[in-house]
Amino acid sequence: MEESIALSETLQVNSASSRVICRVCQKQFSQYTCPRCNTRYCSLHCYKSHSLRCTESFMRENVVDEMKQLRPDDESKKKMLEILKRFHAEDEEDGMDEDDSTLSEETIQKALSGGEINYDDLSAEEKKLFQRAITTGELSKMIEPWEPWWLKPSARTISLSHGGTRLIQPLASEEASGSHSVENLESEIPPGPETPLPSPKNLTSAEPSPLLPFHLVDILYSYCFTLRLYNGDWSSDSIGASMVVLNVSAVLSQGAQPESLLEAVSYCLEQTCSPDFRHMGGLQFGFGVLDDVVSLISLGRAAVVCALCDLQRMIAAGEMELKSEKPRKAKSSEVTSKLKSAGRKIYFILCWVNEQPEEVWSSLSVLVQAEKASQLEYQGNGKRRTLKTEKTNDDSKALIKEI
């Protein structure tokens, strides 16, 4: 009992002796001791102000100890060497122009880390270099040339039933043999409809318009134009591809009803020469797309059905991707509405195409070829060819100004 009392008294004495006033502020009891000068202080503020020499020395030692523990890996050494070599090369080239500047450090690090680099990620100088590479054709060497499926020999062997479905369906266990196997045909040619197409009479009570061939040329032009623009791979950007179709096709985007082949072709060529697509080559590129339309139509009903089915899938994929991105509600609803309307028009004309006899396609391909020749003649003579149309969406304008 006496030992416990003595111990208690000793603790109280030690506790009282440890309550030392802070040597800095002289107001609070000190709780800490400086590890360098043993000065007693009460808070971080007092520690920082008690001796500048102590605080700087203490922080410097901590930083040095931390750096000693770091060991750069091979990847970081490689990146640093590349950066040093690049800046060393820049210092040696005193007369180098600004357009020859290299990529920014941020862009290089993003590329080395395996991330995707968008056009918006580039600096102003990098965008100039990219645009110059496009105009000079440097980037074209890196892209494998794409051959349109309607120009391949397999496009002439498409067989569809009266309902539009493929007559020969590949089996999962069947092995490919030969260059013209079913599997090769499947990979080259867009698949047709999965279910038989109904008659247009089952979709509407009105008789199909006699102007539908002209509408079809407008739609097929937008399809061939978009595939040329995307090098055959519209699935890489289904929204962008769908918007290109709407920009080029007046039938799908504005509900236009061209009354002649001249009107349909003129609008498509005008859009091709617009500022949005002028970089593609202008009129010369447009005439090339007209050749694609002629080649596609001359293949007959089966090829046109497959093309419209591919276009229908493109529009549907763009609509689905647009919904998943969830952009601004007003803009999203407007574009979604246009894509839905375009999808319905494509399906209707798809059903109409499926019922047309083969002689229709040979005649239509000749007409498109003749219209192209007429446009080339006017363009070669330097004449002006204007075409006034009826009002569409309360607007009236010339579809083509000069060729």
Of 349, 188, 368, the residue nearest 287 (C-alpha): 368
198 and 221 Cβ atoms separated by less than 8 Å? no
- What predicted TM-score, i.e. pTM, was given to this entire model? 0.61
Q: Could you give the angle at which helices 358-381 and 301-325 cross, rounded to 10 degrees?
A: 70
Report domain extents, the chain: 32-69, 106-136, 153-164+189-389
Q: What is the pLDDT at residue 105?
A: 66
Alpha carbons 328 and 335: distance in angstroms, whole number: 11
Distance, in Å, from the CA atom of 402 to the CA atom of 270, rounded to the nearest integer, reads 9
At 33, which helix (H) or strand (E)? strand 32-33
For 362, other C-beta atoms within 10 Å of its C-beta total: 11
> Taken in order 398, 245, 197, 319, is the CA torsion positive or negative?
negative
Structure tokens at 82: 């590349």
Cα 224 off chain centre by: 18
Q: Phi-psi bin for 382: left (phi > 0), alpha (psi -120 to 50), beta?
A: left
pLDDT per residue, tens digit, the chain (403 aa), is 444 444 444 444 444 445 788 888 888 888 888 877 878 888 877 877 777 667 666 666 665 565 555 555 566 656 666 665 665 565 555 444 444 445 566 666 666 666 666 767 777 777 777 777 666 656 656 667 789 999 999 999 888 888 888 776 554 444 444 444 444 445 678 999 989 999 998 988 888 889 999 999 999 999 999 999 998 889 888 999 999 999 999 999 988 899 999 999 999 999 999 888 888 888 899 999 999 999 999 999 999 999 999 999 999 999 888 887 765 555 677 888 899 999 999 999 999 999 999 999 999 999 999 999 988 887 666 554 544 433 334 443 443 443 3
- The reported pLDDT for the residue numbered 395 is 42
Say what the pLDDT of residue 104 is: 64
CA distance linking residue 367 with residue 171, whole number of Å: 40
Report the distance separating Cα 306 and Cα 186, nearest Å: 11
